[in-house]
């Protein structure tokens, strides 16, 4: 989605909200590893909602997203932030690509996705 607001979370029944910064290598790498982890884990029924951070500043005002960064976020950091959503609520979140190598992106993605039990 090129532009979204905080209401996007309410639309996700069982899925992952991924905040992508197209100008960020870590963000793009995190997206690649997240989708690989989803494939490897056989999570084909899991929704994947990808939001462009540059067109969606309201998403960063969600309390759960702010918690990832310890407070107010004025601009998207572009590290490949992901949130697991169930019934319109964020139940787990991770900065997938922040300061790690690509193998760690994969393992962080798998840990986040392990919250999904297929119900």
pLDDT reading at 35 higher than 80: yes
Look at residues 60, 92, 89 and name the one whose alpha carbon lies nearest to residue 76.
60
pLDDT digits (tens, 9 = 90+) for 70-87: 665 555 678 888 888 899
The answer to whether 92 and 112 are in contact (CB under 8 A) is yes
pLDDT reading at 40 higher than 80: yes
Question: What is the per-residue DSSP string for 13-74?
Answer: SEEEEEEE-TT-HHHHHHHHHHHHHHHHTT-TTSEEEEEEGGG-GGGGGSHHHHHHTTS--S
pLDDT reading at 119 higher than 50: no
104: three-class secondary structure by DSSP: helix
């Amino acid at each position: 989605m090129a532009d979204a607001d905080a209401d996007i979370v309410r639309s996700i029944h069982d899925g992952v909200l991924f905040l992508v910064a197209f100008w960020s290598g870590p963000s793009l790498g995190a997206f690649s590893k997240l989708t690989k982890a989803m494939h490897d884990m056989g999570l084909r029924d899991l929704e994947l909602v990808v939001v462009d951070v540059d067109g969606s500043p309201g998403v960063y005002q969600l309390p759960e997203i702010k918690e990832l960064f310890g407070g107010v976020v004025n601009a998207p950091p572009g590290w490949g932030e992901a949130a697991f959503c169930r019934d319109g609520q964020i139940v787990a979140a991770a900065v997938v690509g922040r300061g790690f190598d690509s193998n760690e992106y994969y393992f962080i993605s798998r840990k986040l996705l392990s919250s999904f039990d297929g119900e």
